Every structure is written in structure tokens, then in C-alpha cells.
Homo-oligomer: A and B are copies of this chain.
Amino acid sequence: MLTDSRIQEHNEKLADDHAFRWGYMQEWLHRKGIDAEHILQQLQAYQVAIPSWALGTGGTRFGRYPGGGEPRSLEEKIEDVGLLHALNRASGSISLHIPWDIPQDVQAIQNLLDEHHLTIDSVNSNTFQDQKDANHSYKFGSLCHTQSEVRQQAIDHNMEVVEYGKQLGCHTLTVWLADGSNFPGQHHFRRAYQRTADSLKAIYNAMPEDWTMLVEYKPYEPHFYSMIIPDWGTSLRLAEYCGPNAQVLVDLGHHLPNTNIEQIVARLLHFGRLGGFHFNGSMYGDDDLTTGSIKPFQLFLIFCELVQAAQDSAVQNPAVAYMIDASHNTKDPLEDLLQSVQTIMTAYAKALLVNTKGLFAAQEANDVVRAEEMLKDPFLADVRPLVAEAIRRNGGALNPLGLYRQLDIRRQLIDKRGKLAVATGL
């Protein structure tokens, strides 16, 4: 289906228009005194991980409307991500979910990954569902459970997840804990917290030294009165309780209404504990929409914090893991992911154009209007040619989504995998 020559062909057709737009952008940057090549290098180096669980059609508790051609195995998931990466050269890694993605033949999987130039960036444990053969139920919690056997089962599962990750060269364990309560009185808040902290520490202590544990937070869902880890403050506290290799993971949809997320990002960077992101779009809660589809300005402001921190020697924060975590209920999952990556790169490109020195000077002078305009200027610029050029230089398509549609890849996948294929875990 997708080959390098197809990409070449596609790019040639768009070459004239791209040259027109990119030429202008180069001159525009030049007039601003910005080194286009320097920006391009950073864009070309940028990668965001694709979650294996987002390759099939998602749904809500009310139902699911599958679109067909979903990957039926880990191998097919890798193929799908490989396809995305071939198109945009910016999605060269996968987040795996255990038990949905247990590799049967590790070497074969590794070969397939290599073939598609992919790595495993993170493995994710699942203690929010009961597996068929499980001895204990997570109905009333996992790492926070009142019974030590249940906690131990959840700890063991996490260790097993790390084991699978090690086999595939991964160094990051992401823990999203669904534990919580639905009613006042259900949880002994203090004891449930401490049990969780100790369970997490047990996992942390058993991890290899060169691994990182990412602790995600979420204010509600699947529980609706309290969540064990509802906010960044709790995640940070737990990370510190575990040790230096535990970090906070920020999922954009996991915040109460009106939260200033970019400030949280800045704080975590300042504390040296920002471990990674789950990118998605959100209007109400954990909507899991396409990244940047609702609040593109917020996404840009988050990247501004990241870029500024990267340029600031005062910041002692480890490398940040960039991951998408979305649910594609009404869109073709692959199209959604192509849009997401493009939007993320666009936000990053704009943030790279910020005149940091000028911004800091305006901040020091309390010149509110000038400081704001320093951010609005790159936000209002059209940086799409910059993103397209970065992808092009990496060997990708000038218009990844356009080419995907033009090649009718979804139809090909349906032909191959069937209309009723269901991705593992859905």
C-alpha cells in the first residue's frame, strides 16, 4: 500500500505549492532573525508515541460504532503505527498495554518494530479490569485495596508488565490507577492513600534502576466520588515517596473544569518531576478527543513551557515522554492520529518561534501587553509549511492525511482484516 515512491510521488505533486509557502515562511523567519534550519532540526527530531489501544474505534459506556479494518493483533497494531510513522516520520514509538499487547514471539515483534523504525516508549499496566483468569477482583480497588492479596496481585501484574517491557527495550512504566470510591464513607481516605503509596513503592523498588515510573492522575471516572490520585499534587507526592525515577504524567483531559494546565506543567518542570504527557482533546472531562481539537491555544502554551524549560539551565528535569492517549469514537482512528500528530507538531513549531529573550524582558518589566503579544505573534503565524518541510526532510509526506485518504488505506485494511475486526482490548 504505502511505499516510499508513493510518498515521493505525492510530494512531487505538492512540490510547487509547498515551495511557494515554504519560501515565504523562510523569508518571514529571516526577517524576524530566526534561523529556520535550527527550528527545523528540532522539529525533525520530535517524536510522539502512539498508544496501541487507540488504533481501533473507541466508544462510551453507551456503545461503540466500529469502522472496520481494526488491527487484530499486536503485529497488526505495529503495522498501523508503522504506517503512521511512514507518513509523518514523527510517530516512531508505541505505548503498549498489558495484557492486551502481550508479545508471543519477542524476537519477531522486535524485528517487526525494527522494520518499521519503531520503539516501545512505555508499557502500561491494567488494574482497572478483571481478567478472566484472575484470582482477585479489582471491583474495590487494586493498589489501594483493603486486602493485601489483591494489592499483591496488582503489584505482581505491574512487575509482569515491566518484564514484557524489558524484553522489548522499553524503560518506562506508566501507571494509571482507576482506584477510587463512588460514595462518601466507602474509602478510609488516609489508609487507602497509604496503601497505594506502599504498593507503588513496592513496584518502584522492584523496577530496574534505569527504568522510570510515570504516575498519572485523574479527578474522576471510573469512580465518581473520589479517586486515589485525583490531582498533580497527589501524583507528585507519590512520586517523591517512591524515589528519583518516579515522575508525574499529565493527561490533558484529566483536570477539573478551567484548570490552568500549562501552569501545572511549569511547576512540575520546576520541581524536576514532569515525566510525560498523554495528549488528547477535551471540552468537559476525559473526552479523549483529537489533540488540540478544542483548545489549540492551550496546547501551544503548554509547549511554550516545555521549550522555555529546555532552554533554561535552571531546570533539572529528565526527558519528557510524549504520548497520545485518545479514543476515536466517530473518526477513523488512523486519521485521528495523523491529525493529532500534525497538531502537536504545529504547537511545538509555534512554541519554538517564541522570542524567549524578548518575552522574559517583558515579564521582568511587567509589560503585560508586550509579554502577551510575544506569545500571540507566533501563535497567529501559519507554521504549517515549517512542519511540512520537517516531515519532508525526514522522508515523510507533505500532507500525511491527504495521502492516507488518497491511497484509500482504510478500505485496504478492511479488505484485509474484515469489516468486523475488533482491536484487542476493545
Contact = CB atoms under 8 A, between A and B. Distances in A.
B224 A283 contact: yes
A267 B137 CA distance: 26
Given A31-B17, A233-B233, A295-B297, A260 B225 contact: yes
Contacts of A329: 182, 222
Contacts of A205: none
Give the copy number: 4
A157 to B, nearest CB: 15
Given A194-B270, A260-B226, A372-B293, A284 B283 contact: no
A285 to B, nearest CB: 7
B271 A258 contact: no
Interface string A379-391: 1111010000000
B284 A219 contact: yes
Interface stretch (A37-45, A96-104, A359-367): A359-367
A76 interface: no
A330 B140 contact: yes
Nearest to A61: B61
A232 B233 contact: yes
Interface in A185-210: 185-191, 193-194
A59 B379 CA distance: 29
A224 B17 contact: no
A33 interface: no
A260 B234 CA distance: 13
A68 to B, nearest CB: 12
Nearest to A21: B28
A182 B330 contact: yes
Contacts of A193: 266-267, 270
A196 to B, nearest CB: 11
Q: Which 7 A-B pairs have the closest CB atoms?
A: A233-B233, A189-B266, A257-B257, A224-B287, A65-B139, A185-B371, A140-B366
Interface stretch (A6-14, A87-95, A165-173, A332-340): A332-340
A412 interface: no
A140 B190 CA distance: 39
A361 to B, nearest CB: 11
A111 B288 CA distance: 47
A117 interface: no
Interface residues of A, number: 110
A84 interface: no
B295 A63 contact: no
Nearest to A381: B382
A334 B243 CA distance: 45
A60 interface: yes
A129 interface: yes
A346 B256 contact: no
Interface in A332-377: 332, 335-336, 339, 346, 359-360, 362-366, 368-369, 371-375
B372 A186 contact: yes
A310 to B, nearest CB: 13
9 contacts: A59-B61, A146-B364, A183-B371, A185-B374, A190-B314, A225-B283, A231-B233, A297-B297, A332-B369
Contacts of A60: 61, 221-222
A230 interface: yes
